[in-house]
Structure 1
Amino acid sequence: MLAGAGAAPAGAQPPPPARDTLTIGITQFPSTFHPNIDSMAAKSYVLGFARRPLTAYGPDWALACLLCDRVPSLENGGAVRETTPEGKPGIRVTWRLREDARWGDGAPISAEDLRFAWEAGRETATGFGPAEFYRSAYELVVQDARTVTLRFDKITFEYASAGEFQPLPARIERDRWQGDHRGYRNRTAYDTETATPGLWSGPYRVTAVQPGAGVTLERNEAWAGPAPAFRRIQVRTVENTAALEAQLLAGQLDMVAGELGLPVEQAAALERRAAGRFNVFYKPGLVYEHLDVQHDHPALGDKRVRQALLLATDRAQIVARLFENRQTVAHSSVNPLDRMHDADTRQWPHDPRRAAALLDEAGWRRGPDGIRRNAAGEKLSFELMTTAGNRAREAVQQVLQGMWRPAGIDARIRNEPPRVLFGETLSRRRLQGAALFAWVSGPENVPRSTLHSDEIPRAERNWSGQNFGGWRNAEMDALLEALPQELDAERRRSLWSRLQAIYAEELPALPLWFRADAHVWPRWLDGVRPTGHLNPTSLRVEEWRLR
C-alpha cells in the first residue's frame, strides 16, 4: 500500500525511492504486434499493457467488458435470437464502446474501427484468426458512432465474448490493407511503425521496439482509466531461463512474468535461495503443455505410433523429477480445473511393453542398431523441437529422447527461437516431427482452432488457423461445430466427454501436463493478479501499485 505524506518519526526507515520504470523479463519476443494476426503468448502479454479488447476473462474467470459498456446477454437485450436469411437459428449481438475509449493520439475508438476489423477478418486472404468467428459473423451493422451489431449464422454459448475480435484504427490501417489483402501483414503499421500512438488503446503505448530484445512502453496520455503507477514499462526478452534468473538477481529486471517466465522448479529454487526478496506465486491454470505432431509424417500419422510414444513416456516421473510434482499429468486437452473435465477419460500409463507391441503391430521392427524400421527400410526417426533457451523444455526434450530410444524411436533435437518456431515453422506447417510447447485457453474454450480440419493452415488463407499438425477427424469436426451451439451446460457436458474420449484415443497431440505458472515480482509491488488462463496479468496493469 502507499504511505501517506508527512514527516517520518525519529528512527523510522526512510521511504523507498520513487520508481518510474518497471522492467519485466519474459522468455519470448512477439512474432508480430498486430492484435489479430498470429496467436502467441508473448504478443498477448505485451499488448495487454497497450491494448484493450472488447471483452476478456478476469482473475475470477468471469467474462467482463474492458472496452465496451456492458456484457451483452439475452436477458439485458444486448443479444437477440433471430432467423438468418437462410432460415436458420441465428443471433444478433450488440457491443457499445465506452464513451471515453480513445486511441493514443486522442482520436475516439469508433464503430468504424470495429467495421474495419470485421471487413479485414472476413477476407480470408488477410489471415486473421480465429477464422470461424468471421465466417459466422455474416453482417455488421453500425448503429451509431460507438455501437455495432454483429449478426451470426448460429447461436453459441460463447456469443457474449468478442474473443480476438477487437477494433483496429481504420484511419491508419485501412489504406495499408486495401488492394493487396495478402500482403497486409507485411505492411501493417503495427510492425512497420509500431511506435505510432494511434495504434494503442491501453494504459500504455509502445514507444520503442528492439527486435528480438525488448519493447518499451510509456504512459498513454489519452487513457481515461485509472492512471498506472509507472511512467515507463520495459519488457525485455531473455530466451535463456538461466540468464533470465541471473538478470533478475542482478537487479537488471524487477520481475519475471509468470506467463512466459521461469519454470516452476527453477522459481522454487530461486525462492529458497533468495528468501524474502521476491514474492513468488504459483498459479495452476489452463496452460496445456503438449507435443504437437506432424500427421503427414509416415510414422506419426499412425495413431498406434502416437499411442506407443505416450506409453513409452513416464510423465509422472518427469513431473516428479523436473517439476517437484507441481504440474498435473494431462490425459486430454481439458484441464481438471475446467468444469467440463471428464475424470473418466482414458489414460495411457507408462507401459514400455505395450508400447513395443503397438509399434510391432504398426509395422515398425527393430533394426540392427536398435532403431525401428518399416518394410521400406525407413527409420522411425523424427525431429523433436521446442523454444530455444527454455531450460525446462530443453531438459524435457533430453528425457523424452532417452525414454523413447529403448523403444526403438530416434528423436533428433533441433530448436528455434520462439518467434521463428511459432511465426514460421509451425504456422506454415514446416514441422518435421514433434514440437513441445503450450496452448493457453479461456474457461470452457472450444478448441476449434487447434483441432478442426478446416483450421489447418494453408497458403490460400494466408496461413491462418492453429491445427499445425494437420489432424483430420470427421466426428471431431462435427463435435466442434455442435458444442458451441448447445446453450444448456449440462447437455454440453456429454459432448465434452465425447470430445475428450476421441482426443484420448486418437491423440491428435500428445498430452503431457497442465502447467502451473511461477509469477515472480518484487515485494514493493502490489496488485498483480494472475489469472490462470489466456488473458494475461498485463490486461489489468492499471491496478498495479507500489507498496
Structure 2
Amino acid sequence: MRRSAVVRRFASLGVALALAVGTLVPIAHAQTSGKTLVLGFTQEPDTFVAGEGNEYVTQVVDNLVYSQLVVIDDQMRPIADLAVDVPTLDNGDAVMVGDGADQHLETTFHLRQDAKFSDGTPFTAEDVVFSWKLTLNPLWSASAGNDLESKYSDVVAKDPHTVVFKMMSESQAKAAGQSDQKGPVVHPFYLYGLPDVFIYPSKRMNPLVDFDPQNSAKLKDLLSGVYSRQPIGTGPYTLDGWDAGVQMTFHARNDYFRGKPAIDTIIVRGFEAAKETLISQLQAGDIQTIGTETLDVSDVDAINAIPGAKAYVRAGTTIEHIDLNQENAILGDKQVRKAIAFALDRNDLVNRTLSGQSAVADSLVPPISPLFNPDTPKYGFNPDQAKSILDSDGWTPGSDGIRVKNGQRLSLKYQSTGSALRKKVMPLVKDQLAAVGIEVNIDQLPAQAYFGINGPLRAGSLEMAEYADVGSQDAGTDAVQKYASRFIPTAANSFAGGNYTRWKNPTADAVINQESTSLVPSARQSAMAQLQLLMADELPTIPLFFRPNVSAASNRIANFKPEFASNGYTWNVWEWDLR
C-alpha cells in the first residue's frame, strides 16, 4: 500500500520542552474509575505528531486527543468538528471573490466557542492560522499528500471565532511559479480547511518557535519533543501516561465541547502481542476491540464464534490492482490488455484468498464514492473471449501452449511485494493467464525496493505490477496523481508522480483537468464518469478487488462504527458507551 504522509520517527521528549508542557502521570500510578475500555493492538503508536504516524494505531489514538475543523464519518461524509458547520458553495460559506486573474475562492469557517485545549486554553481562530503556518515551514515533514495547504494564499483570523481560507488566484499562482495555472486555484477538499492537519495550541507553542511558525528553525526541536509523547489537543480524551511497550492510558475530559464521553478511561495495550493472544484476550473479556492492522478475513469466523463479539468487515477504499505498463511493447497493445482482463477470474481470487469476504472491483473508484459510475463496463471471467481476442490479434499458441506473434512469446514479468496476500494471489493469476496462453514470471521484491525511487514502479521498468492504493475520501483527487500524464514519474518531477502505468491519454487529461478544477458536484461527477468509461476501455490498470478492513469489537460497545477510509475506527469515540 502507498500512504501519502511522510513517514518518520522522532526522538524522545527533551527536558526543556517537558518542562514547558508539564509531566505525565506514570502508568503505574494512573487511577481509573467508572467505565473502562481496553483497545488491543499488535503495534505501538510511533508518535503524536499529526500526520507523521506510520501505524494505523497512531491514527486511532490521535482521534482520542486531537480535533480538526471538519472530519469524515464512517461513510466518508464530511461532518463538522471544531467548525460549527461544513462550509460549502451552497450554504454561502464558500464564495468566489474578485474578477479576472484575481478571482479566488474564500472559505469561511465559523468556529465553536465552547472548545478548549486539554491545558485549559480556549480554542480560537489564531490556533487555526498557527497550525496552517506550521505546515508551510520547510522543516515540517508531515506534509499533506494532497498539498492543499500550499494552495492557500492566506488564512486570516477574522475574529476569535471566524477564520477565512483564501485560495490562490491565477495571478498569485503564476507569481508562485505555477506558470500553467488557468483560472483560480480550487481543490475539492476546500470544505475541510486543513484535512491532514490537527489543530495546535498557538499560545503554548508559538513561543517555542519564536512566534514565527512558518520560518523558525526551532520547529525541528519542537517536533522531536513535545508532541511526540505529550500531546495537547481539543479532543475528547487526555493522555495520562505512556509506558513504552506496555500500554497507554487516556481519561475522558469533563470540558470536551460535545460533553464528557460516557467511557471514563480508555487503555490501549498489547504492543508486540501476537494476534492469537489478542483474540484470546477478547474472548476472556480483557480487551474489547482488536484493530485492523492485526486481523484479516481468515479471522472472521473465529471472531464471530466468540460469544458477545463481532467481526466487522469493510470493503473500504483500498483497491488491489495490476498496473500494465503502456510503454511495454506487448502491453502497449490494447487487445492484449483486454484479453488479460477477460482471463482473470477475480471472484475466484476473492473466494480463495479473502475467504469471500470482499468484492470484485470493476473501477478504481469505490461504489461508496459519489463519483462512482455504476455504468462502468465489467470484465467478467470469460477465457474463451480472451482466447478469441488473442487469436484475432495474431497471437497463436506455441508447442508449450504459450502464444507467439512474429517470433515473440507472450511472456511478461509480474512483480509485487512478497506479502502474505500476494503470495496467494500471484500464483492464481499466473495459472489463470497461462490457461489462455499468456506466460507470466513472478518476481516478488522487498517493499522498499519495489516502491523505492529505483524500483520498477517509479523507474518505469515494470511490465505487470500488482499493489494496493489506499484511496482518500475523494476519488477525484486520487485520480489526478494516478492517471494524469503529467504525473508519470520522471527525473523532471523527481520521480514523485503516481502514474506508474505511463498512461498518456489526452482525453483522460482533459476530463481529469475538468474534474480537478471544478467545485460543482455535478460537473465533477460527469468528468469522473467519463474517466471511468475511458479507463474501462483503455485498461491501463486492471482492478482486482477491494482490500477489506477487518476489526473486532465486543457487543458491549455502543455506537462502534468502523470506517471505510483509513481515518481510524475511533473517529466517533465521543459517542461510544459501554452497555
Tell me which of 561, 565, 568 is aligned to 1:529: 561
Tell me which of 80, 93, 107 is aligned to 1:65: 80
Change (3 A) 1:487 1:403: same
Is 1:101 paired with 2:134?
no
Q: Which residue of 1 aligns with 2:28?
A: none
Change (3 A) 1:18 1:260: same
Conserved? CA contact 1:36–1:165, under 8 Å: yes
Where in structure 2 are the equivalents of 1:111-122 lying within 5 Å? 111-122=125-136
* Distance in 2, Cα, partners of 1:84 & 1:187: 43
Is 1:137 paired with 2:152?
yes
Q: Give 1:515 shift.
A: 4.8
* Matched position secondary structure for 2:158: strand
Q: Which residue of 2 aligns with 1:291?
A: 321
Q: Give 1:93 shift.
A: 0.5
Unaligned runs of 5+ in 1: 1-16
Q: Give 1:469 shift.
A: 6.4
Is 1:395 paired with 2:424?
yes
* Distance in 1, Cα, partners of 2:44 & 2:505: 34
What per-residue deviation string (whole Å, max 9, x for no partner) do you get for residues 187-231 of structure 1? Answer: 662688511233674524485385xx7873523657444333142
Q: Which residue of 2 aligns with 1:9?
A: none
* Matched position secondary structure for 1:118: helix
Change (3 A) 1:116 1:193: closer
Change (3 A) 1:375 1:38: farther
Tell me which of 28, 41, 55 is aligned to 1:25: 41
Q: Give 1:529 shift.
A: 1.9
Conserved? CA contact 1:114–1:166, under 8 Å: no
Q: Which residue of 1 aligns with 2:371?
A: 340
Of stretches 473-482 and 352-361 in structure 1, the one that deviates more from structure 2 is: 352-361
Change (3 A) 1:159 1:199: closer
Aligned length: 516
Change (3 A) 1:224 1:344: closer
Is 1:227 paired with 2:260?
yes
What per-residue deviation string (whole Å, max 9, x for no partner) do you get for residues 27-72 of structure 1? Answer: x677765434588755433422232121122246542211112222
* Distance in 1, Cα, partners of 2:238 & 2:491: 35
Q: Which residue of 2 aligns with 1:270?
A: 303
* Matched position secondary structure for 1:149: strand
Q: Give 1:321 shift.
A: 3.4
Tell me which amino acid in the other structure corresponds to 1:287.
T
Tell me which amino acid in the other structure corresponds to 1:22.
V
* Distance in 2, Cα, partners of 1:240 & 1:509: 36
Conserved? CA contact 1:78–1:94, under 8 Å: yes
* Distance in 1, Cα, partners of 2:247 & 2:234: 14
What per-residue deviation string (whole Å, max 9, x for no partner) do you get for residues 436-490 of structure 1? Answer: 3352432665423444455667899899776566655544343233225445544
Conserved? CA contact 1:380–1:408, under 8 Å: yes
Conserved? CA contact 2:402–2:409, under 8 Å: no
Change (3 A) 1:200 1:87: closer
Tell me which of 341, 345, 348 is aligned to 1:317: 348
* Distance in 2, Cα, partners of 1:427 & 1:227: 51
What per-residue deviation string (whole Å, max 9, x for no partner) do you get for residues 268-311 of structure 1? Answer: 3431x33x231334445x42321364859957974756555544
Conserved? CA contact 1:290–1:436, under 8 Å: yes
* Matched position secondary structure for 2:192: coil
* Matched position secondary structure for 1:197: coil
Is 1:512 paired with 2:544?
yes
Conserved? CA contact 1:125–1:461, under 8 Å: no
Is 1:350 paired with 2:381?
yes
* Matched position secondary structure for 1:102: coil
Q: Give 1:101 shift.
A: 3.0
Of stretches 502-511 and 465-474 in structure 1, the one that deviates more from structure 2 is: 465-474
Conserved? CA contact 2:234–2:256, under 8 Å: no
Conserved? CA contact 1:117–1:166, under 8 Å: yes
What per-residue deviation string (whole Å, max 9, x for no partner) do you get for residues 77-115 of structure 1? Answer: 422221267244x32101233233333433344434433
Tell me which amino acid in the other structure corresponds to 1:343.
P
* Distance in 2, Cα, partners of 1:225 & 1:505: 49
Q: Which residue of 2 aligns with 1:4?
A: none
Conserved? CA contact 1:334–1:341, under 8 Å: yes
Change (3 A) 1:396 1:50: farther
Is 1:45 paired with 2:77?
no
Conserved? CA contact 1:308–1:358, under 8 Å: yes
Conserved? CA contact 2:338–2:386, under 8 Å: yes
Conserved? CA contact 1:442–1:534, under 8 Å: no
Change (3 A) 1:99 1:461: farther
Change (3 A) 1:341 1:70: closer
Q: Which residue of 1 aligns with 2:16?
A: none
Tell me which amino acid in the other structure corresponds to 1:80.
V
Where in structure 2 are the equivalents of 1:199-218 lying within 5 Å? 201-205=235-239, 207-208=241-242, 210=244, 216-218=248-250
Where in structure 2 are the equivalents of 1:301-312 lying within 5 Å? 302=332, 304=334, 307=338, 309-312=340-343
Q: Which residue of 2 aligns with 1:380?
A: 412
* Distance in 1, Cα, partners of 2:416 & 2:112: 47
* Distance in 2, Cα, partners of 1:508 & 1:240: 40
Q: Which residue of 1 aligns with 2:290?
A: 256
Conserved? CA contact 1:209–1:216, under 8 Å: yes
Q: Give 1:545 shift.
A: 1.2
Change (3 A) 1:345 1:265: same
Tell me which of 90, 94, 106 is aligned to 1:92: 106
Of stretches 48-57 and 439-448 in structure 1, the one that deviates more from structure 2 is: 439-448
Conserved? CA contact 1:104–1:205, under 8 Å: no
Of stretches 465-474 and 225-234 in structure 1, the one that deviates more from structure 2 is: 465-474
The alignment-based identity, stated in percent, is: 20
What per-residue deviation string (whole Å, max 9, x for no partner) do you get for residues 373-408 of structure 1? Answer: 99899973243216x4xx555533453354456631
Conserved? CA contact 1:278–1:521, under 8 Å: yes
Tell me which amino acid in the other structure corresponds to 2:266.
R
Q: Give 1:492 shift.
A: 3.7
Of stretches 446-455 and 405-414 in structure 1, the one that deviates more from structure 2 is: 446-455
Conserved? CA contact 2:270–2:278, under 8 Å: no
Conserved? CA contact 2:344–2:433, under 8 Å: yes
Tell me which amino acid in the other structure corresponds to 1:337.
I
Conserved? CA contact 1:294–1:432, under 8 Å: no
Q: Which residue of 1 aligns with 2:529?
A: 497
Conserved? CA contact 1:527–1:543, under 8 Å: yes
Tell me which of 434, 459, 470 is aligned to 1:439: 470
Conserved? CA contact 2:358–2:548, under 8 Å: yes
* Matched position secondary structure for 1:383: strand
* Distance in 2, Cα, partners of 1:446 & 1:381: 30
* Matched position secondary structure for 1:409: strand
Conserved? CA contact 1:203–1:225, under 8 Å: no
